[in-house]
Amino acid sequence: MIYRVIWFICRGLFTLFWRYRIRGAHHLPATGPVLVASNHVSYMDPPVVAVGVWRPLRFMAKEELFRGAFARFIRQIGAFPVKRGAVDRAALKQSFDILESGQGLVLFPEGTRGEGGELRAPEMGVGMIAYRAGVPVVPCYVHGTDQAMPRKGGIRLAPISVTYGEPMHFAAPEGARAGRKEYELAAQQIMAAIAALRDAHPVN
């Protein structure tokens, strides 16, 4: 209930004040497990990705956000913590549980916010989850959020948009098992798909 209320509020505000544009939403399955992999340039990115589609999405977020009263709020809207810089088995288990239950999960492969249009090298985890969960991976590109909510603080009324790409699938050949090499390659391919969405993004 809280998720849907926040969804409507954000959708309305984004459209009214930030000229929010949505492209390729039809690429994201309406039901069933799906992994959405997006670039990350602003704290504004999670809601921008979420309100572009109707179905609820869950989020993996850095554990530093889960402190004080704000922790309860972001948990209620579908986020769960992950420890950065280490293998967080609890976060991985929760990711697999979410996907196994048929929900949508959003990850930011870069692990932290980048600068402008530059994309950071992806972490291997997104490739591992893609292979082990065996679910469709939808690349996603958010644009303009670094201007609307810049690192140095404040809020500006700059145009924002989200673009969802065609689903990608990763599976090891029959009788084989994916390992670190395959996970890293998958992460790179996912990041390349996000870069392609960026490069195809309209200038205006």
pLDDT (tens digit per residue) in 92-151: 899 999 999 999 999 999 876 666 667 888 888 899 999 999 999 999 999 999 999 988
Angle at 140 (CA atoms; ends 155, 194), nearest 5 degrees: 105
Residue 51 — φ and ψ, nearest 5°?
A: -85, 5
pLDDT given for residue 67 in this prediction: 76
The answer to whether 125 and 105 are in contact (CB under 8 A) is no
pTM: 0.91
Using CA atoms, how far apart are residues 9 and 79, in angstroms rounded to an integer?
18
The answer to whether 2 and 142 are in contact (CB under 8 A) is no
Average pLDDT of the chain to the nearest whole number: 89
- Which pair of tokens denotes residue 117? 């249009």
Residue 118 — φ and ψ, nearest 5°?
A: -75, 135
- HSE (side-chain half, CA atoms, 13 Å) at 100: 8
Burial class from Cβ neighbours inside 10 Å (0-12, 13-18, 19+) for residue 106 reads: buried
- HSE (side-chain half, CA atoms, 13 Å) at 47: 22
> In this model, does residue 23 exceed pLDDT 90?
yes
Cite the DSSP H helix spans in the chain.
2-18, 45-50, 69-76, 89-100, 125-133, 145-148, 180-199
pLDDT (tens digit per residue) in 172-200: 787 778 888 999 999 999 999 999 999 99
**H-helix or E-strand spanning residue 141:** strand 137-143
